[in-house]
Amino acid sequence: MANVIVIGAQWGDEGKGKITDLLSRSADVVMRYQGGVNAGHTIVVKDQTFKLHLIPSGILYPDTKCIIGSGTVIDPQVLIAELDQIESLNISSKNLLISEAAHVTMPYHRLIDKASEERRGSHKIGTTGRGIGPTYADKSERTGIRMLDLMDPQGLHEQLEWTINYKNVILEKLYNLSPIDASVVIEEYLGYAERLRPYVVDTSICIYEAIRERRNILFEGAQGTLLDLDHGTYPFVTSSNPVAGGACVGTGLGPTAIDRVIGVAKAYTTRVGEGPFPTELSGDIGEQLCSIGAEFGTTTGRKRRCGWFDAVIGRYAVRINGMDCLAITKLDVLDGLEEIKVCVAYEIDGVSTEHFPTNARKFARCRPIYKTLPGWGRSTSDCRSLEDLPPQALNYLKFLAELIEVPIAIVSLGASRDQTIIVEDPIHGPKRALLKPDGTPISLKSA
């Protein structure tokens, strides 16, 4: 039995969907703990492509229980469309459960999200405009609507009438927008409630029972470490906690329930939206990575900015998440390059550092210090073991593992399930140890 958290080790879009889907094979339960429909995973199974936003990737396995935890926020309209999509593909949703404590995205959240982003002008954050930030803001402000409120028609009437009155003042006075008709929204959301009612339960009980029954549980992070509200590149972050610690809060489990943390990182780096990006490539190589890697957002279709692998970020992700091992994705995207750079440290105001700066202004001044490695000049997408890889590709992986001090358990060389090298069993295999018995840092095993 192992309870595993899968997190993104960069700015999201690392290919967590594919890795979670692979690991779901050995999971009895897959649970989402944060984020909303701003997340997007693409999973390719044979010739079918699935784009999931809220439903955990485990839904593609018929016997896996899939839980949307209390730390997520739910846009019922989008969730229902997603349910319709999977059902039209003959995938059952019978194993889906939704936390009654999860907050609900309302029409005013979407309106306020877009209007406030416009109002920010050159200070915009680059949100997806799906209302996620305002939904979490209402959660903190204690004016949120939860799934359990949606299940209570009388209560919902009272609560929404008051809330929409309040939000209309903001919409009209602050943003010059038309007010919302409460009765229309109430009717719309009561319709959603009926469709979702069979799935809504107290998921903290279900997950605790799964722990007691010694089930294998996979906690599926959305977004990535650098988008974390507390530990990411604030203010260009999401409104929740994608880091491993968020899994306990967003599911209602104590930290003792977690056995290991698997990080997912691309063999290079991408970033969507605004904010500094030290290893960003603006020329031909950046364009090449973008087009070969199909770097366009699953949720918004936005073009992703591309750059070299950044080991300062990698080390930070290892530290902040307590990462035990790493899955490296999209190695194949680097196949055609003559040489590949890796950022080994930053220079900030003339001083070199290996530590990721918390201060956003300092981060904006970071210059990457690179080490250049030779490329491998041939395709890796058909490689199925480390021995199949060109020696330069293997060296590249070893270099990354040693730099960020974590073993590589999985290497992904294409979007489909079989384009994968399992170096070691990520669930029961490598576990990062911090210190030797004599207290000195351990020399960590690389790929």
Q: Which residues bind ligand GDP (CB under 6 A)?
A: 8, 13-18, 40-42, 44, 293-294, 298, 329-330, 332-333, 412-415
Closer CB to ligand GDP, residue 78 or residue 101? 78
Exposed/middle/buried for residue 182 (C-beta within 10 Å: 0-12, 13-18, 19+) = middle
Closest separation in Å from C-beta 227 to ligand GDP: 11
How far apart are CB 299 and ligand GDP at their closest, in Å? 8
- Least separation in angstroms between residue 191's CB and ligand GDP is 30
Nearer to ligand GDP, 48 or 183 (CB): 48
The nearest distance, CB 73 to ligand GDP, in angstroms, is: 17
* Shorter beta-carbon distance to ligand GDP: residue 60 or 415: 415
Question: From CA 258, how far away is CA 244, in angstroms rounded?
Answer: 10
By CB atoms closer than 10 A (0-12, 13-18, 19+), residue 382 is exposed
Minimum distance between the CB of residue 420 and ligand GDP, rounded to whole angstroms?
A: 8
Query: CB neighbours of 291 closer than 8 A, spacing ≥ 6?
Result: none
Q: How buried is residue 113: exposed, middle or buried, by Cβ count under 10 Å (0-12/13-18/19+)?
A: buried
Q: Is 355 labeled as catalytic in the residue annotation?
A: no
Smallest CA-to-CA distance from 267 within 181, 439, 152, 392 is with: 392
* Nearer to ligand GDP among residue 53 and residue 65 (C-beta): 53
Q: Residue 365: helix, strand or coil by DSSP?
A: coil
3-state DSSP call for residue 156?
helix
Rounded to the nearest whole angstrom, what is the least distance from the CB of residue 219 to ligand GDP in the complex? 14
Q: Active-site residue among 13, 28, 228, 332?
A: 13
d(CA 273, CA 303): 9
> Which residue in the list 21, 41, 53, 324 is annotated as catalytic?
41
Q: How big, in percent rounded to 5, are the helix, strand and coil portions of the chain? A: 35, 20, 40
Chain-centre distance for alpha carbon 71: 13
41 is catalytic: yes
In the 8-state DSSP scheme, what is residue 438?
Answer: T
What the block records as the tokens of 289 is 């990575």
Between 333 and 342, CB nearer to ligand GDP: 333
Q: Which is nearer to ligand GDP, 225 or 279 (CB)?
A: 225
Helix axes 132-141, 107-120, angle to 10 degrees: 110
Task: Residue 373: name the closest of 317, 309, 325, 294 by CA.
Answer: 309
- List active site positions: 13, 41
